[in-house]
Amino acid sequence: MFSSVKAFEGQHYSSLKKQCMQSGVLFEDPLFPAVDDSLFLHGNRIGRVCWKRPQELCDDPQLFVDGISAHDLHQGQLGNCWFVAACSSLASRESLWQKVIPDWRDQEWDSEKPDSYAGIFHFRFWRFGEWVDVVIDDRLPTVDNQLVYCHSNDSNEFWSALVEKAYAKVYGCYEALDGGNTADALVDFTGGVSEPMDLLEGQFAQDELGRNQLFERVLKVHNRDGLISCSIRATTVEDMEARLDCGLVKGHAYAVTDVRKVRLGHGLLAFFKSEKLHMIRMRNPWGEKEWSGPWSDSSEEWKKVSKSEREKLGVTVQDDGEFWMTFEDFCQYFTDLIMCRLINTSYLSIHKTWEEEVMRGSWVYQDDPLRNRSGGCINHKATFLQNPQYVFDVRKVEDEVLICLQQKERRATPKEGKSENLAIGFDIHRVELNRKYRMHSSQQKVAGSIYINSRCVFLRKELKEGRYVIIPTTFDPGQQGDFLLRVFTDVPSDCKELMLDEPPQTCWTGMCGFPQLVTQVHVLSAMGLQGQDSNGASDPYIIMTCEGEKVRSPVHKDTRSPNFDIKGLFYRKKPKDGIHIEDVCGLGVILDFVTIWILGPKLPNRIFYHCVAEQTVLCFYILS
């Protein structure tokens, strides 16, 4: 998580407020003025708008009325249900909204200290790897004395309208928020990592085992303060915001506000009964139009649950946009799920912690192939390896790795004609254990993300011990932009960018020589181990040596026939010297498959491979 905070557009809240207090003038934001350009992309479409401060709309304005909750938000005349749904999720997490709304007590209207009011507020969002502090004035757009956009149930509560204004300022205007991705807003509120799930592709409606495993993941994210959203995909324009017979709305973002295992039955029977129902609660940002199927607010199914359990769940019979449904029904109707998890990097936590590496980079097009860093996806074989490359290590026998690639926001500058995100993605290649320089030939691809024009792409993958290279790319070559790469592993991965194409030449090169050949040794497997321990098993590993450089393989526990599948890369000044593959355990490994690739420039006409097998050492000599 990133802790430093940067002033958005150089506006510092404390100094601006101090100036207003000294001058006795309410703040008017020169960077986001009360004009139509702050509202619309393509001209006024709602009539005459009057900008008013909260005290002009009610007698007792408050930031919060009776605290903060998901019910405080109602979507206005803007298609930003994605943003309002994210705000609904945020409202349920005190530790998170207090980061978005800093020092909220000091920002609250104080009737006892009216002189402390300066008409200025500030909010914080996580933008491209850093928290930014966004200053606004409190002039809000109204028509007929009513707020045009996001508003609360209580006419004197304004936190939701003010947060929306700050977010609109970041994007350039309110109308730039019309249509968007809930995952982006969830990340902006938390600095977390959003994982999208295609429920149709996963076939969770039919697969009970998979559905139960997914529920446990969703429950874990919820219990660890993650934010969750969902939607039903609209396949046509006519489908957008079309209401189904069950009350759900297509093409519309819902906030997940609770996830529970609900105990069925009454009294002691319920306590001792093992049957529990997997349930999920959602909220429609419209504040109305709820699910009308089983377990809806007034359905008969709630009689199966004790009164105390219903009270604990907060079941209410009113059309407030919030409703429960079983996770089975949820997977039947909803098509997309977004889980924004907070990646725990604290060493003091009792929960699983992650090691995070953050890399900033750019896709930059140049005519020179050695300098070009915009080669497009792997479909463009001639230029693919010209993209930026990042190497990292997996140091466990097997480790779950989370990778998030984020491009710099383009929606935030729509008036400059940069409103379309690039289609981005990445591939992961397993490489030699001692890889230090950029790849110039394709290697074993072990995973890859989808390519999509969203702000972020995410991949979760189990990887075996070894060294890997991530190649983040745009889909098409020649496209330019900045990106942020975040890699999360269980133990430090030492992720870094591969900058050099080959070993650099120094003042000693003429005296000591420069590599004439690049040789890759690939050991696939070994068999017929001798000298094993009393249990009939061994812990073999091998060491490859060339001109003083050593590459050690991972240890293979309790086996006599390990599948090494490891590679070493050697830049050789003396092509006639041998490459040694050594069994340092003294167990007499007999290698079954060894592949040697000469990757240098021009090969000699005749290459002779001479293998001498001793009890503990295998030596490969490459002779011309």
Least confident of 140-149, 264-273, 336-345, 355-364: 264-273
What is the predicted pLDDT for the residue at 99?
A: 94
Q: How many CA within 13 A on the CB side of residue 498?
A: 27
Q: pLDDT band at 175, cuts 50/70/90? A: very high
Task: Give the DSSP per-residue string, 50-62.
Answer: EEE-GGGT-SS-B
Average pLDDT over residues 379-402: 96
Q: What is the pLDDT of residues 53-97, one digit of tens each?
A: 999 999 999 999 988 887 788 888 888 989 999 998 998 888 899
Helices (H), 7-129: 13-23, 81-91, 94-100, 104-107
Q: With a cut of 90, say whether residue 427 has pLDDT above it.
A: yes
**Is residue 193 within 8 Å of 458, Cβ to Cβ?**
yes
pLDDT in tens, 382-391: 999 999 999 9
Whether residue 204 has pLDDT greater than 90: yes
Question: Which residues are tagged catalytic?
Answer: 81, 252, 284
Per-residue pLDDT, 526: 59
pLDDT at 351 (0 to 100): 62
- 92: helix, strand or coil: coil
DSSP annotation of 151:
B
Q: What is the largest CA-CA distance in the chain?
A: 93
- Please provide the distance, in angstroms rounded to a whole number, between the alpha carbons at the two ends of the chain: 55
Per-residue pLDDT at 216: 96
Would you call 23 helix, strand, or coil by DSSP?
helix
Give pLDDT, residue 610.
41
CA distance 589 to 617: 8
Composition of the chain by helix, strand, coil, percent to 5: 20, 35, 45
Amino acid 606: pLDDT: 38
* Structure tokens that stand for 363 in this block: 């896709």
Asked whether residue 416 carries a pLDDT value surpassing 80, the answer given is: no
pLDDT in tens, 495-509: 999 999 988 877 776
